[in-house]
Amino acid sequence: MSVKFWTEPEAKVTIESYNLLSVFSEKRSWAVANVRRGMLDSPYFIPVGTHRVQETIRRSRFITTVSHAPTSDSANEFVARLRDEFCDATHNCWAFVSGPPGNTKSIGRSDDGEPHGTAGRAMLKVLLHSGIGEIVAVCARYYGGVKLGTGGLSRAYSSGVKFALESMATEPKIDRTFAVVIVGYRSVGAIQHLMNEMDITVSGENYGGSVRYECGIPTASFGRFSSAVADVTHGEGSVARIQHPVGPPLDSP
């Protein structure tokens, strides 16, 4: 059985086999090891962007789409968008875990008309045991005229999620503290170099009497960054926490 998968805007590719358990085990081991070394804030991975795979099983077409969902609201919004995109599908089943892997405090699922427990539950089980957090999966099924039975349906829906997770890009979750950084013009080059080195995201900047950056600073590095700003600006720069960034990320359209 072949499976098509793609992450827009790249071309579609076909894969023939996978070792899902090995992939997830490697991701969990890598993250936990780096947490112990103090290199990561959190021992789990989250999705990067949106990813989609497609399978045909006994003439039924299953299109599974996965994406990052840090909150239940964002997961439900994603489900709504996918239901609109595949409004002609026979079923749009879904599941999400909008927290750490295995955490059942913020989860959701739906069979969307399939026999009870054959779709959403199967998808959710895969997500909970994947080692990947803050994730939503939607599977659109186009019925092909051949009934799969309850066991066949559960295997089909879980298979789609497994294939999607195996080929999906992920990154370690980094908890960030939002802050405003204010420096003089003569320190701009040094500050920008420092922000690049310390993986600090910039969501806004303003040039007036001084230069103001709105940043997302890795929480574990906040104190070190504040000290470094004081050093490179000879005590003239400042770093102040804020509740959330005001402007959109600089690379947003």
Q: How big is the chain by its Cα radius of gyration, in Å? A: 22
Q: What is the pLDDT of residue 1?
A: 38
Distance CA 118, CA 225 (A): 50
Residue 160: enclosing H or E segment and its boundaries? helix 149-167
Distance CA 101, CA 45 (A): 9
Q: How far is CA 187 from the centre of its chain?
A: 34
- Residue stretches of the chain with pLDDT short of 70: 1-43, 244-253
176-241 adopts what CATH topology? Alpha-Beta Plaits (3.30.70)
Q: What sign does the CA torsion over 138, 144, 145, 151 have?
A: negative
Q: What is the pLDDT of residue 167?
A: 86
Distance CA 209, CA 202 (A): 19
**Maximum Cα–Cα distance for the chain, whole Å?**
73
Q: What is the pLDDT of residue 173?
A: 84
Residue 188: enclosing H or E segment and its boundaries? helix 188-197
Cβ contact 75:69 at 8 Å: yes
Distance CA 236, CA 231 (A): 9
Q: What is the pLDDT of residue 139?
A: 96
Q: What is the pLDDT of residue 42?
A: 54
Distance CA 166, CA 59 (A): 23
Domain covering 3-172 in this structure, CATH number: 3.30.230.30
How many Cβ atoms sit within 10 Å of the Cβ of residue 139? 32
| Token pair for 209 | 């009497």
Q: Note the pLDDT tens digit of each residue in 164-179.
A: 998 898 888 888 888 9
Task: Provide the residue type at 85 as one letter.
Answer: E
| Token pair for 228 | 């470094």
Cβ contact 82:94 at 8 Å: yes
Q: Note the pLDDT tens digit of each residue in 9-47.
A: 332 333 333 334 444 445 545 444 544 444 444 568 899
Q: What DSSP state is assigned to residue 143?
A: -
| Token pair for 63 | 């299109």
For the chain, how far is it from start to end, CA to CA, in angstroms?
Answer: 39
pTM above 0.75, yes or no: no
Q: What is the pLDDT of residue 8?
A: 37
List the one residue out of 68, 77, 117, 119 whose CA is nearest residue 97: 68
Q: Where are the domains of the chain?
A: 3-172, 176-241
